[in-house]
Amino acid sequence: MVQSPPRTAPERSGRRPSRGAAGFLRDLIVIIVVAVLASFLIKTFLIRSFYIPSASMENTLQVGDRILVNELVPGLIPLQRGDVVVFTDPGGWLHNDPVPPPSDPISAAGEWVLSLVGLSTQDANDHLVKRVIGLPGDHVTCCNALGQMSVNGVPLQEPYAVLQPGSSAVSGTAFDITVPKNRLWVMGDNRYDSADSRYNRDTPSKGYVPISDVVGRAFVVSWPISHWSWLSDYPATFDGVRAAGG
């Protein structure tokens, strides 16, 4: 009886076949396309970065800080009193506090890398950052006998506000306004060094910020690392304020 020789498993060399230059190039193109698409989606719909060029939001934000902004506000997430928001100049607000260009090759390279993922600050020159005090319909007045601002008749305790030494007044300018429809009344935390709604009443926007001009809500200080912090909307300050007409 003749027996067939036993079958043996094919030898394995233990080496994976090389994909070659064509495979590497294809993978590289896919990575680049995905990165560009991710950058577009992040910058368009999710997060952007901005540079703080002035002292108007001290001590919450310092000159030179970089902040990350949630662009889902106000499109999908409604604005709240106390939110720190970035908005485009409604017209005549900006007074030439430009974002300085990178001062060295390393910083320039870093800015370029950030631009790939939508976190560059290159377009920050056309924007401002302030805190939302009044929503559409709100009646905002200042100041009462204690120097406080009131919203819809409720005096505010504002721990974030920087005042003049020896003064309890949260504003050096008195005002009594009702916020129009689809507009915001905004103020800087550094109350005596902020060209905010109070000081732009003679501009085309009459000192109000159209909600359509809001880029998003700032939620974190991302740079420098020593300043890293979440940005609060201070709910305790505004919890007692009822909606306009409420």
Residues with a catalytic annotation lie at 56, 130
- What is residue 188's three-state secondary structure? coil
Q: How far is CA 7 from the centre of its chain?
A: 69
What does DSSP assign to residue 162? B
What is the DSSP-derived secondary structure letter of residue 42?
Answer: I
**How distant is the alpha carbon of residue 5 from its chain centre?**
75
Give the C-alpha separation, 45 to 23, whole Å: 33
CA torsion sign for 60, 63, 68, 69 is positive
- For residue 49, give the 3-state DSSP assignment: strand
Helices (H), 42-140: 105-116
Q: Cα angle at 209 between 63 and 83, to 5 degrees?
A: 55
What sign for the dihedral angle of Cα 60, 68, 123, 121?
positive
Of 126, 130, 58, the residue nearest 95 (C-alpha): 126
Rg (CA), the chain: 27
